[in-house]
Amino acid sequence: MKNSKNQRANTAKIIFTSFIKIMKTNSISFKGINISNANLLGHKMSIYKLTQKDAPLIEKLEKEVDLKELIPNIDKNNFEIFNAILQGSFRHALDKNKHSMLLTCDDKPCGIMVNLNKTACHFVNYICTWPIEPDKKAPFGAQTLFEEMFKNFLNSQAKFIELYAIRFGDAISKYMRIGFTPRGGDNDVELMKISREKVLESYKRLKERINLEPANNKEDIDLLKELKY
């Protein structure tokens, strides 16, 4: 009888231990590091550093950021271009050779930036922002990402920043407004460049408008639980 009780106890212990292991394996969490915050027009803007371990969040965003729902009147051509940039951003966000940042507005993901930072030049591979609700944009979304990027650039030894602007809509003029100059291209894209001197000028203007502040708590937090979708 005693042996029977011991066997049942051991069996229960094995089952419980196995259950805990399964739960730990299936419990996917995202650990993000908050690097900067700002209060813009009553909205809390935050920037998080992304790394390879943040795949669960990126996979969730790939599935749940629905441009047709967020921009109800978007036409086919705009959608195809916008969606290609968005999906490219997600696809390259976890590249270990790149520096990626996630932007949130009131804890809702609303933008992403992917850069390749080399010694002499920082290159913007992707920058993409999207509405937090149908037809409701976050204030100064792209400019907020550029303020953080310009700060990082100025803390490096790099001499200039480059990016390719698509020849669609007002993309080129938007980059020109923050200091980039056109350098030539083809029928689809324009290479744009900004010098260190111009970055400093633009950073000061963005700082006056947005004023990102370093996050007080830079510990990993579970963004899959903290953010709103």
Query: Could you report the per-residue pLDDT of 80-127, keeping only the tens digit for each?
Result: 999 999 999 999 999 989 999 999 999 999 999 999 999 999 999 999
Which range has the worst mean pLDDT, 24-33, 46-55, 116-125, 127-136? 24-33
The pLDDT of residue 28 is 32
* H/E segment holding residue 220: strand 220-222
User: Where along the chain do its domains lie?
Assistant: 30-226
pLDDT one-digit tens code per residue, 185-208:
999 999 999 999 999 999 999 999
Instruction: Provide the pLDDT confidence category of residue 45 given band limits of 50, 70 and 90.
Output: very high
pLDDT one-digit tens code per residue, 60-86:
999 999 999 999 999 999 999 999 999
Q: Are strands 189-195 and 160-166 parallel, antiparallel or unpaired?
A: antiparallel
Which range has the worst mean pLDDT, 24-38, 108-122, 168-182? 24-38
* H/E segment holding residue 39: strand 31-40
The pLDDT of residue 29 is 37
Report d(CA 127, CA 113) in Å as an integer.
4
CA dihedral 116, 118, 123, 125 (to 10 degrees): -20
The pLDDT of residue 53 is 82
Q: Is the pLDDT confidence value at 30 over 80?
A: no
The pLDDT of residue 26 is 34
Q: Is the pLDDT confidence value at 38 over 60?
A: yes
The pLDDT of residue 39 is 95
- Domain 30-226, classified CATH 3.30.1370.30, yes or no: no
Whole-Å CA distances, 50 to 34, 36, 83, 139: 10, 13, 20, 22
| DSSP calls for 108-140 | EEEEEEEEEE-SSEEEEEEEEE--SBTTBPPTT
The pLDDT of residue 36 is 96
3-state SS assignment for residue 212: coil
Give pTM, 2 decimals: 0.81
Q: Is the pLDDT confidence value at 42 over 50?
A: yes
Q: Is the pLDDT confidence value at 31 over 70?
A: no
User: Secondary structure of the chain: what % helix, strand, coil (to 5)?
Assistant: 45, 30, 25
The pLDDT of residue 33 is 87
Q: Is the pLDDT confidence value at 225 over 70?
A: no
DSSP code for 155: T
